[in-house]
Amino acid sequence: MQNNRQAVLIWDLPTRLFHWALVVCIVGAFVTVKLGGLYMDWHIRFGCATLGLLLFRLIWGFIGPRYARFSQFLRGPAAVVRYLKGAAAPAGHNPLGALSVLALLLVLGFQAVSGLFTSDDIMVQGPLYGHVAEATAGAMTSWHKLNEWVIIGLVALHLLAVAWYALVRRKRLVRTIITGKADARDVPPGTPPADNGAAVWLRALLLAAVVTGLVLWIRSLEIVADMSFS
């Protein structure tokens, strides 16, 4: 029997913009740190942008639309086991995918925060390097470098999972996070669409403005630190 149900909007546009902006920042930060030299200024910019995006997503997980909220997709171990045994996945993140999202947010958050206190002992320092003890900055720098491998591993697993879903389960996750719409066959019947109205946009714009101001304030502390040591 042919399924005539229409695709369902799952991911609101602010959530989708966050996702792809984060991809750009991760790739940009990785490339610039490998190039080194003058590109390290851009590495810091990408890191600060990542921090802002993660702060946005953290708060959006409480005030955003239905499927963007942590309460909707974060489940306990029992839900993960049921899903692995073949239970139907809810709309949005499945229980296993939710753990992957949480892990990525945590390690990327640590990378962004630790980067604020790092130094290459040559010419590049994080915005808050001058506000902590040298031993603390040294520890943060070491952890920042080690955590890069954790991020590479998690991103690789994430990409493999997306490929597996596309090739084996025939679920086009990339298309869904671009258009926001999930195929009707991939969501339970009666799944309500995500709210993408004016109220959602207003919350997103206000939150983005607040987060941008906070990140710019953190960057300004670098100038204060430089002046205090001049």
Rounded to whole angstroms, the Cα distance separating 224 from 34 reads 28
Q: Is the pLDDT of residue 168 over 60?
A: yes
Residue 5 pLDDT? 58
Coarse DSSP helix, strand, coil percentages of the chain, rounded to the nearest 5 percent: 70, 5, 25
Number of other residues whose CB lies within 10 A of the CB of residue 192? 11
What is the DSSP secondary structure assignment for residue 68, as one 8-state letter?
G
Helix (H), strand (E) at residue 181: strand 181-182
The pLDDT value given to residue 223: 60
Check: CB of residue 18 under 8 Å from CB of residue 57: yes
**Residues 51/215, Cβ–Cβ less than 8 Å:** yes
Residue 109: burial class (beta carbons within 10 Å; 0-12, 13-18, 19+):
middle
pTM exceeding the 0.75 threshold for the entire prediction: yes
Q: What is the pLDDT of residue 152?
A: 97
Contact 105, 53 (CB under 8 A): no
CA distance between the termini of the chain: 75
* Predicted local distance difference test score (pLDDT) of residue 88: 72
Mean pLDDT of 140-155: 96
CA atoms within 13 A on the CB side of 190: 0
